[in-house]
Amino acid sequence: MEPCIFCRIARGLLPCKKVYETDTLLAFHDIAPIAPVHILFIPKVHIPSFHELAVCDGALAWMNDLMSAVRIVADEYCLNGYRLVTNIGADGGQVVDHVHIHMLGGQPIGPMRVGAQPASID
């Protein structure tokens, strides 16, 4: 069985609430939304994270579709703006190891990092 949960969704082996689709990209509602609008954009091919985009086949075609997909979906769901987030690796808080872009909107999303103090840069 396909081990990656987002590969399974991309192949139609697991259900999702689809929002938008192209040959290379699928956008669907997050199963545990943290905002009124919480949509995930994934490539249909397996790419582990944003960090691997430069070295994985299919990344460029997905990124190309992503630009228009974000615009089309946001024009329908996020009329007042939105935030795009992609978590990468352990420190980034990535849980699903198949690159995905979170679109958060539907209300003011708040500070970039709750409770953050200015980081020391020296």
The binder of 30, among ligand 5GP, Zn ion, none, by C-beta within 5 to 8 A per type, is ligand 5GP
Q: Which amino acid is at 118?
A: P
Q: Letter for the amino acid at 90?
A: A
Let me know if 38 is a catalytic residue.
Answer: no
- List the interface residues with ligand 5GP, window 82-101 (CB under 6 A): 87, 93-96
When asked if residue 31 is in the footprint of ligand 5GP (CB under 6 A), the reply is yes
Catalytic residue of the set 29, 38, 98, 100 = 100
* Sheet of strand 101-105: strand arrangement: 18-21, 25-29, 37-43, 101-105, 82-85
- The closest of 10, 94, 24 to 56, measured between CA atoms, is 24
Residues within the interface to ligand 5GP (CB under 6 A): 5, 16, 28, 30-32, 87, 93-96
> Catalytic positions, please?
100
